[in-house]
Amino acid sequence: MSTDFKSMVEILLEKKPEISAEEIRNLVDEKKRKIGAGYLTDQGALFLVAADLGISLERNQSSLQKLKDLYVGARDINVVGRVMSIYPTRTFLRKDNSEELRNRTLTILDSDASIRLKLWEKRVDFPEESGLRPGDLIKLTKGYVKSGLDGRPVLNVGDLSTLEVIKEDTMNIPPLDHFACDISKISAQADNVVVFGKISSSPRIVGYKNVRGQDSKALQLNVSNDEGTKTMRTIIWNIDESRLPKILAVGSSINLVGVRIKQGNAQYGNSEFEIHGDEGTFMDISNSRGEPDVLALKLISVGKDLGTGYLECLAFQKDGKITTLRIDSKLLKASISPGTIIQCIPSMILGNQITLSRDDSYVSEIEDDLSFPSLESLETKIEGITISDRPYLIEGIVLQTPSISTVTTRNGENISLAETMLGDDTAEISIIGWRELSNLVTDLKVGERIKIIGVITSTNRDGRVQISLKPYSSIHRIG
């Protein structure tokens, strides 16, 4: 037998394991006898045998490649991969003719490697049309590989390609659980991992500018192991709020599929590593209630709309729990002020943050309710302030002349920072205000007795607890 013939027999045996090599030899000899000696080679006869069995012997078209073997420029690629991340559709204009194009990225993996899979135009709706979810197996035939912006190979689905969800795993690709990692076991940087743990801080949504200079949002929270002995700062960039559950409570179990483990930032904590996800990260939340109930809230302070379309407020519930409150400005029919009691159905509850959106919220002002505790009972002495995600109400005396400085951020923006010292009969603490809020600090005078509504805690460079003003914060002079 020639080497080519042996290779073809191996393919046939792979696809028809119930037939032996000896039986294949006999079928080939029989085919040659029937056709006539001298008209067929062994290989030619084997093609006819394979056709009778309904099998193609074209390895370059039918065999499956490993993801680790793909290279830029490769064509006619056939792979099976397990889906880890599904990104939203992106629309952009071609530079040459301003034609609008759509594409979408998936991250798939096998037992050895992972790769980005790009869907174009009519294929971008494949995840919805097929009900695709992380963990599913997909098969791509006749794909091609191009270079991504980072130089890494990107597998593309072309016009001649086929893409399908499959059930049978012929490549022995591990399930996503195989890539799962407990918080306590994380010891190195890594890409495309699954992390599980518990939400250990109040989740919050913050605004920022993405790499394209567009306004975007990020979900920030801490995730800990079950025992609470290890905690990691977690950021999900480019978050779409509509993908989040209505209630995301501290203590809920969370699985994050398709995240990166990066070196920790000492500015934000003492964890050696951080968890970073993006719009392709899948979040599986348990122990979280379905829909928010009707809530009664008493407003403590009402901030300004800083261009987000939302008023940043502070409120408390009948049990004395203080929460931040984001109210869509267009949801309100009249202005609101501190002391107002509202009844509402929230759009979302993220830990200590309640959001009221015009699309799916209800809010109305109600009469005074004596069952709410007094504001004074919610105040905290300075010695009782600890690092937490709850807002504080504090009363004290200004001990220093406020100082102001300019700080340059990592993206080159110059922002103002004002700072002074506040004290009461238990301890002293530093208070700071950033950007527009720095004016609230610089207006203070030594010896003034003030009440501060709504500050959060952090640690300074020396590791000491400090308090910071937020958009919902207010300062009131006493006496």
Residue 175 lies in a domain: no
User: What does residue 282 show for φ and ψ, rounded to 5 degrees?
Assistant: -95, 130
Is the pLDDT at 2 greater than 60? The verdict is: no
Interval 379-384 mean pLDDT: 92
Compute the distance between CA of residue 169 and CA of residue 173 in angstroms, rounded to an integer.
Answer: 7
What pLDDT shows up at residue 306? Answer: 65
Check whether residue 320 and residue 404 sit in a common domain.
no
Instruction: Scan for tokens 């408390």, then name that residue.
Output: 316
What are residue 138's DSSP bridge partners?
81, 165
Interval 182-200 mean pLDDT: 90
Interval 332-345 mean pLDDT: 84
Where a domain ends, among 166, 188, 222? 166
What pLDDT shows up at residue 268? Answer: 64
Residue 34 lies in a domain: yes
- Among the ranges given (31-35, 250-254, 322-326), the one the predictor scored with the smallest mean pLDDT: 31-35
Q: How confident is the model at residue 118 (pLDDT cuts 50, 70, 90)?
A: very high
Angle between helices 21-35 and 42-52 (to 10 degrees): 100
Residues whose CB falls within 8 Å of the CB of residue 226, separated by 6 or more in sequence, listed in order: 197, 198
Residue 427 lies in a domain: yes
Contact 82, 175 (CB under 8 A): yes
Check whether residue 193 and residue 212 sit in a common domain.
yes
Residue 336 lies in a domain: yes
Check whether residue 40 and residue 80 sit in a common domain.
no
Q: What end-to-end distance do the CA atoms of the chain give, in Å?
A: 104
**CATH for 221:** 2.40.50.140
Check whether residue 28 and residue 78 sit in a common domain.
no
Check whether residue 161 and residue 71 sit in a common domain.
yes
Residue 406 lies in a domain: yes
Check whether residue 467 and residue 387 sit in a common domain.
yes
Check whether residue 242 and residue 317 sit in a common domain.
no
Compute the distance between CA of residue 388 and CA of residue 447 in angstroms, rounded to an integer.
Answer: 28
Check whether residue 28 and residue 10 sit in a common domain.
yes
Compute the distance between CA of residue 392 and CA of residue 75 in angstroms, rounded to an integer.
Answer: 61
Tell me the residue range of the domain where 448 lies. Answer: 379-477
Where a domain ends, among 336, 366, 396? 366
What pLDDT shows up at residue 37? Answer: 63
Q: What percent of the chain has pLDDT over 70?
A: 94
What pLDDT shows up at residue 249? Answer: 84
Residue 425 lies in a domain: yes
Question: Could you tell me which of 247, 81, 106 has the C-alpha nearest to residue 173?
Answer: 81
What pLDDT shows up at residue 446? Answer: 92
Check whether residue 33 and residue 78 sit in a common domain.
no
What pLDDT shows up at residue 361? Answer: 83
- Between the alpha carbon of residue 18 and those of residues 23, 56, 168, 170, 191, the distances in Å are 10, 16, 18, 16, 41
Compute the distance between CA of residue 189 and CA of residue 197 in angstroms, rounded to an integer.
Answer: 18
Where a domain ends, among 285, 317, 343? 285
Question: Could you tell me which of 215, 232, 216, 213 has the C-alpha nearest to residue 224?
Answer: 232
Q: Whole-number mean pLDDT of the chain?
A: 86
- Count of CB atoms situated within 10 Å of the CB of 311: 22
What pLDDT shows up at residue 15? Answer: 80
Check whether residue 24 and residue 100 sit in a common domain.
no
Residues in the chain, overall count: 479
How much of the chain is helix, strand and coil, in % rounded to 5? 20, 45, 40
At 23-66, the pLDDT tens digits run 999 998 888 888 766 677 888 888 888 888 887 665 444 478 88
Residue 9 lies in a domain: yes
Check whether residue 94 and residue 123 sit in a common domain.
yes
Residue 21 lies in a domain: yes
Check whether residue 188 and residue 218 sit in a common domain.
yes
Domain count, the chain: 5
Compute the distance between CA of residue 256 and CA of residue 202 in angstroms, rounded to an integer.
Answer: 17
